[in-house]
Amino acid sequence: MSDRFKHKTIAITGGSKGLGLACTRALLDEGARVIVLSRSRGELAPLLEAHTGELFWIATDLADRASVVATFGNIREVCDRIDALVLNAALTAPCAFEELSEQDVLSNLLVNIAGPIYCLQQAAPLMEGGRAIFISSESVDNPVLMLALYASVKAAMETLVKGIRRELYKDRKIQLTILRSGSMEGTAFADHWPQAQREKFFELAASSGTLDETGTPMPIERVVQAVLFILTRPDDAAIHNMDLRSADSF
Ligand SMILES: NC(=O)c1ccc[n+]([C@@H]2O[C@H](COP(=O)([O-])OP(=O)(O)OC[C@H]3O[C@@H](n4cnc5c(N)ncnc54)[C@H](OP(=O)(O)O)[C@@H]3O)[C@@H](O)[C@H]2O)c1
């Protein structure tokens, strides 16, 4: 435990489960004040009890711009600046292309790219310096069967970041980083996948060699360490892209 993040306020989307929750825990351990944006409290309850005054959860639906605007209105009431923003929340479910519903398409677009856009627009005026990390996926490089929509939306997010990097730095000295992660163990990402789609996905992933390519899912802490590394770089150093994979991926 250190106090590297003492007096720092970090907002994180999807900090109630999986990678976001693990980042939230690590940041609190290192002295940060953390604001979590998610639809539900998820697994945050014990941390909320243990970190009164340091951890805040604001119910937010990233797919709904009005919800994001209201959340940042609440944030502005309690703090006058944010030191970093971790755009971590995302969702998807594996689906064959011809079976994608309107809801599948809209939820991927709204949560996985519109959400980060809405959040950064609202957070930027509070940031004046600091960093925003966009959590992306190895699937951008290798869009696997049944997850092409998810991969393409993450790719769009990465292109957006490249396109706005100069503007955000020039106007506000905010550094933007894309952190591409390989598969991780212990997250809730596949928890809501319908059983039949899950079985078909893993069957196809095994037979097409995808599982072999992505390797053994990494411990979640590897990605948490990468997030903390990025957030602790000196202001005169940027990390535009980081690509973190399992040791036996190729
Ligand atoms: N898991 C992997 O192997 C893997 C690999 C590469 C990259 N990634 C990326 O890593 C990031 C974290 O994934 P994870 O596996 O930790 O996911 P996870 O365990 O499923 O957690 C997702 C988080 O996002 C929140 N969320 C979902 N929809 C939301 C919405 N509409 N509004 C607000 N919050 C919402 C969830 O909270 P609520 O449901 O309560 O809203 C939850 O806190 C994602 O960007 C993912 O694409 C994951």
Question: What digits encode the pLDDT tens for the residues 207-232?
Answer: 998 888 999 999 999 999 999 999 99
What number does the ligand 1 atom closest to the CA of 62 have?
32
Residue 245 is given by DSSP the state -
Please choose, from the candidates 78, 76, 52, 63, the residue with its C-alpha nearest in 3D space to the C-alpha of residue 13: 63
- pLDDT confidence of residue 120: 98
- Ligand 1: centre distance to CA 37 (Å): 11
- Phi/psi for 159 (5° steps) reads -65, -40
CA atoms of 23 and 21, how far apart (whole Å): 5
Q: What pTM does this model have?
A: 0.98
* Nearest CA residue ID for atom 20, ligand 1: 189
How far away, in angstroms, is 80 Cα from ligand 1 center?
Answer: 27
Tell me the CA–centroid distance for residue 168 and ligand 1, in Å: 25
pLDDT digits (tens, 9 = 90+) for 140-172: 998 989 999 999 999 999 999 999 999 999 999
Question: What is the Cα 142 distance to its own chain's centre?
Answer: 19
User: What is the Cα–Cα distance from 7 to 237, expressed in whole angstroms?
Assistant: 21
**Residue 63 alpha carbon, nearest atom of ligand 1:** 31
Let me know if 146 is exposed, middle or buried by CB neighbors in 10 A (0-12, 13-18, 19+). buried
Residue 55's pLDDT band (boundaries 50, 70, 90)?
very high
DSSP three-state, residue 162: helix
d(CA 34, CA 56): 6
Mean pLDDT (the chain, rounded): 96
Distance separating alpha carbons of residues 37 and 39, to the nearest angstrom: 7
| Spacing, Cα 77 to ligand 1 middle (Å) | 27
**How far apart are the C-alpha atoms of 23 and 245, rounded to whole Å?**
18
In the structure, which protein residues have their CB atom closer than 6 angstroms to any atom of ligand 1? Answer: 13-14, 16-20, 38-40, 42, 60-63, 88-91, 111, 135, 137, 181, 183-184, 187-189
pLDDT, mean of residues 4-23: 98
Give the Å distance between the CA of 20 and the centre of ligand 1: 7
Cα–chain center distance at 182: 13
